[in-house]
Structure formats: C-alpha cells, structure tokens
Amino acid sequence: MGSAVNYIFQDKQGNYWFATNGKGAYRFDGITLVQFTAKNGLCDNQVFTIQEDDKSNIWFLTVGGICRFDGKTFKTFPDKKYKLLNGNNDLKMKPHNL
C-alpha cells in the first residue's frame, strides 16, 4: 500500500477494507488486493473511515465528502452539502442506514 493506513474494516463477506492517507482504499478478499482511487470514482484519495450498511453498500468518509459503493459504482455526497467532517473523522451508520 505504501501509505499510512487510517482505518481497517471487515465487511459481512469477510473482505478487509483499508482506508489510506492519499492512496485511496483497498479491498482484500484473502487472495487479491484491489485499490480504489479517485480515478475509479472514489470521491477522494484521502480516506478516513469505512463502514457497511444493511444493504451491503460500502461507505467511505473522505476529504471530498462521503461515497457509497454498491459493489460496482460509486456515488458521492459532497461534504459542502452534508457537513460530515466534525473533527473526529468518524462515520456512523444509523439503525436503518442513510
């Protein structure tokens, strides 16, 4: 990865996700390590935290806002609109998600 890892998360499928400081996010399924960056649709390469909702969407809190990954594509929710960064760089899923 070659970059500081900010957060490690394990999803329901057992994949490990790594949030990095400048290299995007990585998913490791036990065999293959896949990198996701702004070139792939991730909202920013500086990722603070990663969570999963009850529909198996993966959520990324980044400098550029929050991104939802449905397994194929990313959707970005800019921080200017949602004011997500609150100093502790934490992302929490509500009981019934977003």
Of the chain, the percentage scoring pLDDT greater than 90 comes to 67
**The amino acid at 13:** Q
DSSP 8-class letter at 59: E
Q: How many CB atoms lie within 10 A of CB 87?
A: 5
Q: How far apart are CA 94 and CA 72, in angstroms?
A: 23
Reported as a single tens digit per residue, the pLDDT across 9-57 is 999 999 999 999 999 999 999 999 999 999 999 999 999 999 999 999 9
Conformation bin of residue 13: beta by default, left when phi > 0, alpha when psi is -120 to 50 = alpha
Domain boundaries, the chain: 5-73
Q: How far apart are CA 14 and CA 61, in angstroms?
A: 20
